């Protein structure tokens, strides 16, 4: 008895490791395509459900899909109702794992074939690099999944003398509820509903459990994922917590509905596909997830409003999107970082633009000083994002974010040195470019996403104007119109205006380069192609 239990535990462990390795490799391979796919086609809850199902089926990880979506919501690239559609669809996408197990893993003995394939894929992964290494890791995970399944099948074949449907809870309401709770507990222990479903399919194919018992366990495993999702987001950002609560509420609602339909659906599937056919259990799992999507999609808007009331989150916090749980996905983390950077940038522009106004306003120094904690938090978050040098597009985007932060940080420090700012509004030669710069800042403070082209032209005009005014100031001193200290005040103010305009321009340009769909070209090439030299 003990050897069979140990073999079963080892098989489940190999299946879990295989799923983790395969999903991480597939996510790395499909990262850019997945993000473009979700951003392009998620225009409504319905299209969100379709894209969520498709993307989860490809990368075999609903959590990876949800992390990407959370990053999009935090960055303002997707609304919360659209994200809910993706969450609904992701549950359908996870059922693909069950179909792979039922149609391939249990009907074919692929574990024997997977052994030599595992050796080859591991060697390729060790010796190769880049995309080929990621493909090899995906094959490694795929091989481990089927080796684990074969181990589970061998272990369960030894259970026939003691594990029978009669010794488990039966078909009464209370018995099914107990099986549902057992399914919840299994998922909470092994942290994977896919592995739990695979083990349930193995037991069903061996005749150790009935279809009704397996269906109750499957419902419990789906509900069990809600507890792990909520635990994982304690202390997280508003968007992360809203997503976890929405996912949990959706799974509980669909689980309760599926539990109520057990007496009707199970006999129909038993008659149509067979009592011990694993496909019958997978069909039930897929069916109740599909019904859940169909029922919930028309209710997406009120459901979203309910979740938003339940999880209101903080308001007015510039760095609320910076959630450390997104750091596992560099692209999602960069979405969050860019969102916060844009919020801080708008605050800086608003503070200086308000001062550089024909009627004047408060000095921007105290407001820039108040933004220092947000800048420090953003800097710390950026240092925690780890980007592979092999992924040129992602590393280019990360470099653009670092440059954007650097120019924002410089601009904030320049705004704190506001003792020469009165000269900008009193000197006839400086007042006009200063007011034009202030008007541009006020426009950009309201515009999302910003277009850097106009600021680039304005910064170039200010730089040219500063050179002319510098020569003019020296000539005015030479003929005695201004004193030497006044010349220094004028030149300091010119230099301040020129450098601040340059940093505003550069921060906007790098914000555009740090958008969600970077190209493969290096940053310097892209800037040169736009006629802009990197500063």
Q: Which of 394, 55, 60 minimizes the C-alpha distance to 69?
A: 55
Which pLDDT value is given to residue 158? 60
Q: Kindly indicate the confidence band of residue 374, based on its pLDDT and cuts at 50, 70 and 90.
A: very high
Cis ω for the linkage preceding 477 (within 30 of 0): no
Q: Which of 388, 276, 341 minimizes the C-alpha distance to 510?
A: 341
Of the segments 8-22, 285-299, 415-429, 476-490, which one has the largest average pLDDT value? 285-299
* 364/517 Cα distance (integer angstroms): 34
Q: Which residues contact 290 (CB under 8 A, 6 or more apart)?
A: 92
Contact 361, 456 (CB under 8 A): no
Q: Which residues contact 335 (CB under 8 A, 6 or more apart)?
A: 71, 72, 74, 75, 77, 321, 326, 516
Span 125-181, pLDDT tens digits: 888 877 788 889 888 988 888 888 888 877 776 655 556 666 677 777 888 899 899
Mean pLDDT of the chain: 80
| Total number of residues shown for the chain | 535
The pair of structure tokens assigned to 179 is 């099986």
Q: Which residues contact 129 (CB under 8 A, 6 or more apart)?
A: 390
Kindly report which listed range (127-141, 449-463, 473-487) carries the lowest average pLDDT score: 473-487
* 85/281 Cα distance (integer angstroms): 25
The pair of structure tokens assigned to 198 is 């695979």
DSSP letter string over 215-238? Answer: HHHHHHHHHHHHHHHHHHTTT--H
Answer with the residue of higher pLDDT: 379 or 417: 379
Q: Which of 106, 103, 94 minimizes the C-alpha distance to 207?
A: 106
Q: What is the DSSP letter of 107?
A: T
DSSP letter string over 42-76? Answer: -SSHHHHHHHHHHHHHHHT-HHHHHHHHHHHHHTT
Q: What is the DSSP letter of 16?
A: H
Residue ranges of alpha helices (H) inside 371-420 are 372-384, 392-416
Of the segments 56-60, 126-130, 291-295, 359-363, which one has the largest average pLDDT value? 291-295
* 112/273 Cα distance (integer angstroms): 28
Q: What domains sit in the chain, N to C, each tagged with a CATH number?
A: 2-310 (no CATH), 324-529 (1.20.58)
Which pLDDT value is given to residue 74? 67
Task: State CA 46 to chain mean position distance.
Answer: 20
Q: Which residue reads 């490791």 in tokens? A: 17
Contact 229, 56 (CB under 8 A): no
Kindly report which listed range (18-32, 59-73, 174-188, 520-534) carries the lowest average pLDDT score: 520-534
Span 39-98, pLDDT tens digits: 777 778 888 888 888 888 877 667 667 777 776 776 666 778 888 888 888 888 888 888
* 248/244 Cα distance (integer angstroms): 6
The pair of structure tokens assigned to 399 is 């470099």
Which pLDDT value is given to residue 479? 54
* 339/74 Cα distance (integer angstroms): 7
* 285/375 Cα distance (integer angstroms): 47
Indicate whether this model's pTM tops 0.85. no
* 134/25 Cα distance (integer angstroms): 5
- Could you tell me the end-to-end alpha-carbon distance of the chain, in angstroms, rounded to an integer? 70
Does residue 487 carry a pLDDT above 90? Answer: no
Task: Supply φ then ψ for residue 164, to 5 degrees.
Answer: -130, 155
Which pLDDT value is given to residue 322? 84
Does residue 236 carry a pLDDT above 70? Answer: no
Which pLDDT value is given to residue 383? 94
Q: Which of 246, 217, 213 minimizes the C-alpha distance to 229?
A: 246
Q: Is the dihedral of CA 218, 222, 225, 226 positive or negative?
A: negative
Span 202-219, pLDDT tens digits: 888 878 888 888 899 999
Contact 276, 204 (CB under 8 A): yes
């Amino acid at each position: 008895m003990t050897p069979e239990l140990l073999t079963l535990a080892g098989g489940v462990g190999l299946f879990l490791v295989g799923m983790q390795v395969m999903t991480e490799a597939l996510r790395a391979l499909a990262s850019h395509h997945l993000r473009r796919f979700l951003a392009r086609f998620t225009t409504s809850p319905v299209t969100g459900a379709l894209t969520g199902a498709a993307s989860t089926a490809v990368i075999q990880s609903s959590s990876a899909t949800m992390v990407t979506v959370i990053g999009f919501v935090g960055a303002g690239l997707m609304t919360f109702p659209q994200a809910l559609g993706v969450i609904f669809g992701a549950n359908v996408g996870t059922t693909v794992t069950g179909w792979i197990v039922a149609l391939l893993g249990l009907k074919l003995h692929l574990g024997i074939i997977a052994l030599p394939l595992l050796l080859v894929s591991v060697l390729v992964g060790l010796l190769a690099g880049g995309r080929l290494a990621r493909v090899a890791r995906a094959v490694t995970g795929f091989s481990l999944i089927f080796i684990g399944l074969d181990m589970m099948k061998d272990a369960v074949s030894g259970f026939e003398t003691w594990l029978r449907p009669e010794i488990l809870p039966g078909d009464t309401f209370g018995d099914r509820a107990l099986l549902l709770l057992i399914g919840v507990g299994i998922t909470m222990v092994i942290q994977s509903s896919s592995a739990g479903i695979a083990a349930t399919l193995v037991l069903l194919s061996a005749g150790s459990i009935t279809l009704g018992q397996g269906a109750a366990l499957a419902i419990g495993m789906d509900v069990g994922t809600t507890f792990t999702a909520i635990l994982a987001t304690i202390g997280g950002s508003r968007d992360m917590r809203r997503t976890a609560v929405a996912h949990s509420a959706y799974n509980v609602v669909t689980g309760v509905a599926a539990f109520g339909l057990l007496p009707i659906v199970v006999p129909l599937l038993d008659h149509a596909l067979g009592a011990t056919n694993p496909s019958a259990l997978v069909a039930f799992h897929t069916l109740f997830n599909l019904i859940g999507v169909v029922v919930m999609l028309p209710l997406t808007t009120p459901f979203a409003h309910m979740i938003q009331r339940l999880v209101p989150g903080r308001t007015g916090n510039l760095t609320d999107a910076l959630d450390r749980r997104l750091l596992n996905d560099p692209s999602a983390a960069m979405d969050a970082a860019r969102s916060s950077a844009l919020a801080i940038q708008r605050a800086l522009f608003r503070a200086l633009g308000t001062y550089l106004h024909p009627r004047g306003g408060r000095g921007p120094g105290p407001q820039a000083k108040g933004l220092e904690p947000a800048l420090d938090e953003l800097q710390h978050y950026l240092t925690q994002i780890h980007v592979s040098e092999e992924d040129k597009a992602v590393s280019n985007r990360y470099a653009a974010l670092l440059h954007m932060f650097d120019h924002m940080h410089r601009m904030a420090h320049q705004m704190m040195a506001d003792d020469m700012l009165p000269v900008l509004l009193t000197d006839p030669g400086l007042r006009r470019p200063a007011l034009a710069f202030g008007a541009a800042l006020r426009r950009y403070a309201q515009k999302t996403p910003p277009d850097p082209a106009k600021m680039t032209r304005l910064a170039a005009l200010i730089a040219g104007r500063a050179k002319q005014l510098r020569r003019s100031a020296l000539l005015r001193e030479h003929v005695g119109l201004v004193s030497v200290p006044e010349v220094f005040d004028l030149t300091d103010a010119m230099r301040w205006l020129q450098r601040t305009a340059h940093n505003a321009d550069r921060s906007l340009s790098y914000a555009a380069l740090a958008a969600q769909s970077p190209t493969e070209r290096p940053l310097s090439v892209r800037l040169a192609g736009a006629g802009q030299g990197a500063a």
